[in-house]
Structure 1
Amino acid sequence: MKVYPRDLLMKQFVNYLLDWQKNVFQRLTILLTIIISGILFTIPAVATGLYEMPSLQTINHNWIIDEAEVISRATENTINRTLEELTDQTDNQVRIVIIRRLDYGETSSSFAIALFKKWFPIPQEQVNKVLLVLDTLTNDAAIITGDKIKPLISDDIANSIVSETLMLPLRNGNKYNQSLLNTSNRMFAVLSGQPDPGPPAIVDNRQLEPNFPKAEDIDQGNAIAWVVGLLIAATIIPMATYYIYQINQTSSDGQDNLS
Structure 2
Amino acid sequence: MQRLHRYLSYYILPLLLGAWLWGGFALPASATGVYQIPQVNPGEPTWVIDDGDKISRLNEGKISEQVEQLAQETGQEVRFVTIRRLDYGETIETFADQLFQKWFPTPEAQANQTLLVLDVVTNNSAIRTGEKVKTVLSEEIAQSVASETLQVPLREGDKYNQALLDASDRLSLVLSGQPDPGPPVVADRVKVEGTFATPEETQESNAIVWVVALLIAATVIPMATYYLFYAK
Query: What TM-score results when the alignment is normalised by the length of structure 2?
Result: 0.74
The answer to whether the aligner puts 1:102 opposite 2:90 as a matched pair is: no
Q: For 1:196, what is the secondary structure of its paired residue?
A: coil
Give 1:150's match in structure 2, choosing from 121, 134, 137. 134
1:101-139 deviation line (CA, Å, top 9, x unaligned): 333333322222222222112322221110112223432
Q: Distance in 1 between matches of 2:99 and 2:29?
A: 22
RMSD: 3.6
1:165 CA drift (Å)? 0.5
Q: Distance in 1 between matches of 2:204 and 2:44?
A: 39
Higher relative contact order (CA 8 A, sep 6+): 1
Q: What is residue 197 of structure 2 aligned with on the other side?
A: 211
**Residues 124/211 of structure 1: CA separation in 2 closer, same or farther (3 Å cut):** closer
- Give the share of equivalent positions with the same residue, in percent: 42
Q: Distance in 2 between matches of 1:217 and 1:68?
A: 29
Unmatched segments (≥5 aa) in structure 1? 1-14, 244-259
Q: Distance in 2 between matches of 1:130 and 1:84?
A: 13
Q: Distance in 2 between matches of 1:74 and 1:216?
A: 38
Q: For 1:105, what is the secondary structure of its paired residue?
A: coil
Q: Distance in 2 between matches of 1:178 and 1:42?
A: 31
Asked if structure 2 preserves the Cα contact closer than 8 Å seen for 1:32 and 1:227, the reply is no
Q: What is residue 154 of structure 2 aligned with on the other side?
A: 170
Give 2:104's match in structure 1, choosing from 117, 120, 123. 120
Q: What is residue 250 of structure 1 aligned with on the other side?
A: none
Larger radius of gyration: 1
Query: What TM-score results when the alignment is normalised by the length of structure 1?
Result: 0.68
Give 2:184's match in structure 1, choosing from 196, 200, 222. 200
Task: Give the aligned length.
Answer: 221
1:71 CA drift (Å)? 2.7
Q: What is residue 40 of structure 2 aligned with on the other side?
A: 56
Q: Distance in 2 between matches of 1:179 and 1:138?
A: 15
